Structure 1
Amino acid sequence: MLTRLSQSEARRLAISSQGLDGHWHPPKGKEGVVEAIGRLGYVQIDTIAVVERAHHHTLWARCPDYTPQMLHQLQTVDRRIFEYWANAASYIPMADYRFYLPQMRAAANRRHEWYLSNEGREIRKHVMARIRDEGPLRSADFKAPTGRKRGSWWDWKPAKQALEWLFDMGELMIAERRNFQRLYDLTERVLPASVNTTVPSPEDVARFIVRRVLGTWGVAPVSELRWGWHRHPGIADAVAELTSTGEVTAVRIGGLEEDWLALTRTVEAPGQAPGSDHVHILSPFDSMVIRRSHLARLFDFHCKLECYMPAPKRQWGYFCLPILCGERFIGRIDAKAHRKAKTLIIRKLIAEPSVREFYGVLAALASTLWTFAAFNGCEQVVIEKTTPAQLKKPLQRELT
């Protein structure tokens, strides 16, 4: 059976699945954050802090009362989320832990020659013994003691490498982040006893990936059925099985050539259309935009991270934030939060060339900018440049 959707309907499914259509209302406090992470499957962690870090930004976009302390408590005290590799380093629902066990086993099988050397074994034993005896430790806690020469096995770099390998293999977990630094502890002391640690079969993992991808993004082509950067060889069989049982539906989207897929329950109960003045300012690491090819195909919006490029080569700016309005991405802003001055600087606002209705949503955009400024601890919003230039004055008027 083939379900036909317009691009508008497919976009609506995607935005609804992401919890950004204005019709999903998570509980207040930590419970809402848990629901948001569960809905997305993972929330990517990033170090860039020109505005509030990506993981906080992603959760705030869905949970208006979100504070970073909520995330800290969920990881450190409640143990309802854990940190591991999804698309990158990410916060992941603890309920999904078992589906990452094959990835941990694969990491154990990719051990480096140094890891297996006598020196590597000694460092691993030393690292594990210290953590077992002293409790959670940072990589910085393994710097060479006073009086010892650097370059010995006490050195920070090999110990840091051992910590990362032990983490990848699942022998250590992140107990908490303190001032954004990881604290490693024994998995047995972090992982709740109630968590299912049964290693899933390859078929179980393939079904998990299909359900997760379609549940998170609403619709996806077969080529996008991956979780993180890993492509699972059993995806085609999982799709065939879930389609035959009616859990997954083949979808043809108007204007797009490739066949797509969706969970049948989402197609049968499509999301309501988001309001045309419903505006989100998103992180470039937000789940909604992290799959660039998916974003380009479904929304005809191109998003590229330019902070690692030389300034003269940047098209949009250092750290551009996509603007989602209703069912369309209408532009992007290059923003910086000057926290000491409590000022959000919009270095550049760029409207999408195809968007004619931008002027009609300036009031809603201004309101969202003020909310975003408050989230970043800012009390002023300054617009430096807009493209087209004639947007600047009317937007400034809406901000006053």
Structure 2
Amino acid sequence: MAHRKLKLSRTEARRFLLDYHGLGPERRYAGKAGIMDYIRQAGCIQFDPLDPAGRNAELVLQARVERFEPSQLDELLYADRLLVDGMDKVMSIYPTADWPAFRRTRERARSRYGSIPEVAAFVPVVREALEARGPLLSRELESGVKLDWAWSPARQAKATMESMYLWGELVIDRKQRNQRVYQLAEKLLPEELLDAPDPHPADEDYARWRVLRRVGGVGLLSPRMSDAWVGTYFLKAAERTRFFRELAEQGRLVEVETEGLSAPHYARTDDLERWLDSGSAERWSSQPARTSFLAPLDNVLWDRRLIRELFDFAYIWEVYKPAAIRQFGYYTLPVLQGEAFVARMEPGRLPGGERAVLGWWPEPGMRLTRDSQRSLALAFSDFRAYLGCDRLAVSEQAASAEPRLERLANSRPRRARA
């Protein structure tokens, strides 16, 4: 099959990417079924424990899912077991049905950690404790031994249980805030899932699957290095390029040519054809621009160079920068309105615990028209509902940057009837 190329204008490419992620003019996902639909399409969403306004995975979903509540995600993870915490693009949340496909990842973890003497010695202790006592936090087991670990020295129980989790012998029963309560995988996941063979036993088939999965995670992606490829240690740049070419020749990827992009980008064929048949132009022209607050590790931001080239928006997550050298805030959320990034917003809490807009940085040239004010007010109304608060305080910096922000962040606009 011939390698297919398709030219999209910058407007078309932006709209394809946003529609693909459910960030177009209307929310198309709702409830737990909508959460599952999005995560199946994207493959995974990234987990991060920082929680200034919900964790990253929850922020990803609140931007897409109508009336999203964090409890819905918890139910899918720890009651329904349709989703699982695991390694994909770093620590992620992905469909439990994909568990067999990550057998290589788990085997690599067993090879890496299982031979550490302190870990190997404590594995039987963990197994016996979980059998006898049920789900446990690592702090509920103690040996008095510490060992060098990822970020800092760790207790033997913590290192061992984390290792057993990474190689798939343990899974998360539930979380107490960010602390994992572990249980034996055999107690929580079906035997047929645990025993299922790797669906991609050949290395090259597995690599092609990972490439397609990662393209699906972003929607539009290049083989050049970006954060989108974190977690695919086995794929070097030349190999990615070869697999992109092969998948394009097989008709599974389409090369997208767009003015301003400095490298070839690709979309999954079915995703692009579905969008081309969806009546995008009419939908975008007939509905008002929607405003969304995006997570800092949102799938649409995984390739930040693409976002810079396609949207003229340079986003950097400054959470690990010292405060003195940050350009914006500690945990800023990109503000998307229509098909443009118009501002950055930092959510958080005041010293007394009140939810607040701690920072607001409009993009150069941003103008708040009557329509854009209404769109922003609707977004803040949804955000307050997601946070479970009636009011957002507005910091002095944010109010100075946009004097109308106090009113917009706390108004109760009526929604147009469908």
Same fold (TM over 0.5): yes
Residue 388 of structure 1 and its aligned partner are, at CA, apart by 9.9
Q: For each residue in 1:329-362, what CA deviation from the matched residue of structure 2 results, as whole angstroms up to 9, or x when unmatched?
A: 1111112145976x43222211111545677512
Match of 1:147 in 2: none
Letter in structure 1 aligned against 2:336? L
| Aligned counterparts of 2:331 and 2:146: Cα–Cα separation in 1 | 40
Match of 2:121 in 1: 122
Q: Secondary structure at the match of 1:335?
A: strand
Q: Residue 202 in 1 paired to residue 200 in 2?
A: no
Within 5 A, what are the aligned runs for 1:1-400? 1-23=4-26, 25-26=28-29, 28-111=30-113, 115=116, 117=117, 119-144=118-143, 150-151=144-145, 157-195=155-193, 197-199=196-198, 200=200, 201-223=202-224, 227-233=229-235, 235-268=240-273, 269-270=275-276, 272=280, 274=284, 275=287, 277-337=289-349, 343-356=354-367, 361-385=372-396, 389=400, 392-398=402-408, 399-400=410-411
Question: Per-residue deviation at 1:24?
Answer: 5.3
Q: Which amino acid aligns with 2:103?
A: L
Note if contact 1:5-1:252 (Cα within 8 Å) is conserved in structure 2: yes
In the alignment, structure 2 segments of 5+ residues that lack a partner are 148-152, 412-418
Render the CA deviation track for 1:249-295: whole Å, top value 9, x for unaligned: 11211122311111223333336254552100112122222433332
Identity of aligned residues (%): 27
| TM-score in terms of structure 2 length | 0.83
Q: 1:73 to 1:395 in 2, by over 3 A?
A: closer
Amino acid corresponding to residue 334 of structure 2 in structure 1: P
Looking at structure 1, the residues matched to 337 and 174 of structure 2 have their Cα atoms a distance apart, in angstroms, of: 35
1:189 Cα offset (Å)? 2.0
Tell me how many residue pairs correspond in the alignment.
388
- Whichever residue aligns with residue 312 of structure 2, its letter is D
Contact 2:25 2:338 in 1 (8 A): no
CA-CA distance at 1:324 after TM superposition: 0.8
SS in 2 for 1:371: helix
* 8 Å Cα contact 2:113-2:119 kept in structure 1: no
SS at match of 1:350: strand
CA 1:65 to 1:339, structure 2 compared with 1: closer, same or farther past 3 Å? farther
How far apart are residue 22 of structure 1 and its match?
3.7
Summarize the Cα distance change of 1:255–1:297 in structure 2 as closer, same or farther, 3 Å threshold: closer
Aligned alpha-carbon RMSD (Å): 2.8
The question of whether the paired residues in 2 share the 8 Å contact of 1:224 and 1:294 is answered with: no
Q: Is the 8 A contact 1:79 1:192 kept in 2?
A: no
The normalised TM-score by structure 1 is 0.87
Q: CA deviation at 1:231?
A: 4.0
Contact 1:316-1:350 within 8 A present in 2 as well: yes
Deviations 1:96-141 (A, max 9, x none): 212211111112222376x1x3x44321111122123322211111
1:251 counterpart SS class: strand
CA deviations on 1:278-323 (whole Å, 9 max, x unpaired) are 1001121222224333322332222222233222222111211110
Q: Does the C-alpha gap of structure 1 residues 293 and 257 become closer, same or farther in structure 2, counting only changes over 3 Å?
A: closer
Please say if residues 350 and 388 of structure 1, whose CA atoms lie closer than 8 Å, have aligned partners that are also in contact. no
